[in-house]
């Protein structure tokens, strides 16, 4: 359990540090990457996931996402007891990663006037605030995530080892490019909820509220979507296996 906790802690810390760091680079005033756009953000998140998987995949499988862990429990690939240190590691890792982003861009918070941009560094905000559609978007995106992860890790594809993490990073990149526009594609409760909490407690100058009314969407949506995607893949792949 200590091993899975530490691996998920480090993997999720790297994920949030590099992912939220990419967002900060694009959004914060006077950053070298200011206004460089959505392609930079989606590329940053894709590579962030790939690096997290490379670092810890050989230890814990690098779930680095409670939605993935819960989905693995749902399809019987992980016990509930074993899932606990995974999720705790992910949450603590996300907190440290968010704090490191805050420190890295310490000189840029005060000069950034728009408080929405500061919040967006830490968590997702919908482009159009329609909770039912935002919720559905997170379900669909995370279902695709689990469908893709299980497909990539299927032994018949031969993409384990050095190629697998890059393929998963490309999956995140593709989800961001195709499905990320409505909500910013959290598809990971720890990646959104915990940095949102850090935004609440950190002494960021000129910040706004952390939008807790919306916070349930990128938590519950990914959990439901992850389970649906994993179960659907399991059913379909079993049918294919018997053909």
Domains by residue range for the chain, with CATH: 2-241 (1.20.1080.10)
Q: What tokens were used for 104?
A: 């890295």
The per-residue pLDDT for 117 is 98
Q: What is the mean pLDDT of residues 220-224?
A: 98
Q: What tokens were used for 32?
A: 């070298």
**DSSP classification of residue 64:** -
89 and 65 Cβ atoms separated by less than 8 Å: no
pLDDT tens per residue across span 122-134 = 999 999 999 999 9
142 and 187 Cβ atoms separated by less than 8 Å: yes
pTM of the complete model: 0.95
- The CA distances from residue 202 to 24, 94, 99, 209, in Å, are 15, 14, 8, 12
| pLDDT grade for 161, boundaries at 50, 70 and 90 | low
Contacts of 2 (CB under 8 A, 6+ apart): 85
Q: What is the mean pLDDT of residues 187-195?
A: 98
């Amino acid at each position: 359990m200590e091993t899975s906790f530490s691996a998920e802690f480090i993997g999720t810390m790297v994920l949030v540090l590099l992912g939220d760091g990419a967002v900060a680079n694009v959004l914060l005033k006077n950053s070298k990457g200011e206004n460089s756009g959505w392609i930079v953000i989606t590329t940053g998140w894709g590579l962030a996931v790939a690096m997290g998987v490379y670092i810890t995949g050989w230890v814990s499988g690098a779930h680095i996402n409670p939605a993935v862990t819960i989905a693995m429990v749902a399809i019987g690939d992980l016990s509930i007891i074993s899932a606990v240190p995974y999720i705790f590691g992910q949450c603590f890792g996300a907190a440290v990663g968010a704090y490191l982003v805050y420190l890295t861009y310490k000189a840029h918070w005060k000069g950034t006037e728009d408080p929405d941009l500061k919040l967006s560094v830490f968590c997702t905000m919908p482009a159009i605030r329609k909770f039912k559609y935002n919720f559905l978007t997170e379900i669909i995106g995370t279902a695709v995530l689990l469908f893709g992860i299980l497909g990539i890790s299927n032994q018949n594809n031969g993409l384990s080892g050095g190629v697998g993490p890059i393929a998963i990073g490309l999956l995140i990149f593709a989800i961001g490019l195709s499905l990320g526009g409505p909500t910013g594609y959290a598809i990971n409760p720890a990646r959104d909820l915990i940095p949102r909490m850090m935004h609440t407690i950190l002494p960021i100058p000129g910040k706004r509220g952390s939008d807790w009314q919306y916070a349930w969407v990128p938590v519950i949506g990914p959990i439901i979507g992850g389970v649906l995607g994993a179960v659907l893949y399991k059913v379909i792949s079993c049918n294919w296996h018997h053909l």
